[in-house]
Structure 1
Amino acid sequence: MSNDHYLARDGARIAYEITGAGTPLGYGHGVLLSRAAVRRMALFDIDAVAADRRLLTYDQRGHGHSTGRPVAADYTFDSVADDLLALVDAADLGEPLDFMGSSLGAAAALGAALRAPEKFRRLALLIPPVAWEGGDAPVRRWYLDTADAIDAEGAAAWRRGWANAEPIPLLAEHKGFDLTPDIDDELVSSALRGVGQSDLPDPARLATLPHPTLILTWDTDPLHPVETAERLHEAVPNSELHVSRSLADVLTWTGRVRDFFAG
């Protein structure tokens, strides 16, 4: 039985849950996924990091148990950062929290921590999304092109192709690999378009972040390139970077994040 609470906000009903007791910790997932989808993949164990902690988890607007509307602006990095700040306020955790975010969740964490640094203690940014591209942003263009294709061909056709897509090479041997989207068909293209229209904050702004920050990324993923993580590490003053080049190393991330938050 779900223990979710719901936050009504700007055309969405955002589902969130608070479990456990102790120092607060939060997690935000990536686009197209959900809390349940991340747990199903069994790459990063949110609950193991949160042992003996009070854990805030939620589904991004339009994903999982949350609702949303087909408006691209609702899914930009700025919008999801606003959602995160509103959730932290609604949760009333009583003290700054450690926060870990994957991809879109990492973008939300950065935006929220810049706007309200007093609400956070430490950050763990997993697979930061592609950012700061020149020209017409050729990699981020994938999100916009995919959104256009979904609008033209329908979400059902896109889901069939997505189900048959090969994982990135680094994850090819992961038995739990399952990127089944957990988002309503009518919202998929808007969510992808919102991400494709976004960029991470300017490095000069990131240089003001006071939080100890752990950046974890993997190789062979064009939408989460090592180069973005490296530039993020250069920009954030009190940051550590770890790049995984094997599945076995990715499976160490749970312990790395747990140890980092113990500091």
Structure 2
Amino acid sequence: MTEQFNINQFNCSISGKGQTLIWAHGSTGCIQSEDAIGLYAWHRFPKKLQLIRYDAVGHGLSSAGKCVEDYLWPELANDMISVATHCKATSELILGGQSMGSATSLYAALKHPGMVKGLILMNPPNAWHSRAAQVDEYHKMAKAARIFGGKGLAKISAKHWDKLLPNWLINGHEHSVLGMLDGLKQMTSQTLDQLFRAAALNDLPNKQLLSGLTMPTLILAWHGDKTHPVETAIELHQTLPNSTLHIADSVDEVNEWPELISEFCFRL
């Protein structure tokens, strides 16, 4: 049974009992959009494990941020720990997320390493040198957000799936990938403007800091996604001393990810 509730400004859901995984979605996503996409299969997540999910600030049913700084990844990490604290999950946590959610998890682990037992990094975002090359693109997205808002950007994105997802994944999940836009449609122009301007400032922590994270880490990536280049996942794998990397090249391999996540949590 899944319980949905609010913690301060955050919409949260919790299910199961046992080892706790706190999961954060990607940018412009939310609990609803993850469920609509279907790739995560959270409904099959073992009940012997506790799963805590939440809508990040400005996303889904959570309250909007007040400024660009609220959407910076270190601040999102503080939000993740705040959710954990309110759920009385403050030790031996597994932190995980997709894209922005994986960045959030890394910053949270750096801030509170004693609380974190493991990490799951799905589709790590552009980082370091490759992210610097995308800064102008994030400013263009902020401008587009001010003009079109969430619904307008969702319509534009639906016509350019090849810029958002690998073609082989689109072809294999053509009936469910539209769910990816459910979260974007709900977002206001102001929120998206602040989010994309924050994206231009965001980056993963430097590798020297990351090399000090010794907890077991599962990294999941796929080929053919410019926003989540496999090179970032490989660099993280080379930097994090206790990490395992799975790179998918097909829908069948991506369909194995929910089981890989469950097995990782059970092993811990």
TM-score normalised by the chain length of structure 1: 0.91
Q: Displacement of 1:15 after TM fit? A: 1.4
Q: 2:160 matched to which residue of 1?
A: 165
Matches of 1:58 and 1:188, distance apart in 2: 18
**Matching residue's letter, 2:243:** S
Counterpart pick for 1:202 among 203, 206, 214: 206
- Match among 77, 81, 95 for residue 77 of structure 2: 81
Question: % of aligned pairs identical?
Answer: 28
Aligned-partner Cα distance in 1 for 2:85–2:152: 39
Partner of 1:237: 241
- Aligned-pair distance for 1:154? 4.5
CA distance in 2, matches of 1:130, 1:63: 21
Contact 1:139 1:223 in 2 (8 A): no
CA deviations on 1:174-204 (whole Å, 9 max, x unpaired) are 1311221414223122112212310000000
Matches of 2:255 and 2:60, distance apart in 1? 24
Greater CA drift, 183-192 or 110-119: 183-192
From 181, 184, 187, the counterpart of 2:187: 184
Q: What is the root-mean-square deviation in Å for CA atoms of aligned residues?
A: 2.0
State whether structure 2 residue 26 is matched by structure 1 residue 30: yes
Secondary structure in structure 2 of the residue aligned to 1:249: helix
3-state SS, counterpart of residue 132 of structure 2: coil
Deviation, 1:236, is 0.6
Mark the CA change 1:230 to 1:94 in structure 2 (over 3 Å): closer, same or farther.
closer
* CA contact 1:34–1:64 (8 Å) conserved in 2: yes
Distance in 2 separating the partners of 1:38 and 1:217: 17
Conservation of the 8 A alpha-carbon contact between 1:170 and 1:219: no
Distance 2:262 2:154 in 1: 34
Amino acid of the structure 2 residue aligned with 1:165: H
**Structure-1 separation of matches of 2:99 and 2:90:** 27
Q: Where does structure 1 lack aligned partners over 5 or more consecutive residues? A: none
Taking a change above 3 Å as real, the CA distance of residues 181 and 193 of structure 1, as seen in their structure-2 partners, is farther
Alignment of 1:142 with 2:137, yes or no, is yes
Q: Secondary structure at the match of 1:242?
A: strand
Say if 1:155 and 1:28 are closer, same or farther in 2 by CA, change over 3 A: closer
Q: Secondary structure at the match of 2:33?
A: helix
Preserved contact between residue 19 and residue 265 of structure 2 (Cα < 8 Å) = no
Given residue 168 of structure 2, which amino acid in structure 1 is its aligned partner? Answer: L
Distance 2:3 2:44 in 1: 19
**1:39 pairs with 23, 35, 40, which one?**
35
Equivalent residue letter for 2:156? G
Kindly tell me: are residues 52 and 141 of structure 1, through their superposed partners in 2, closer, same or farther at Cα, counting changes over 3 Å? farther
Aligned 8 A contact 2:149 2:192 in 1: no
Flag the structure with higher helix content. Answer: 2
Greater shift in the superposed pair: 165-174 or 31-40: 165-174
- Aligned residues of 1:24 and 1:95 also touching (Cα < 8 A): no
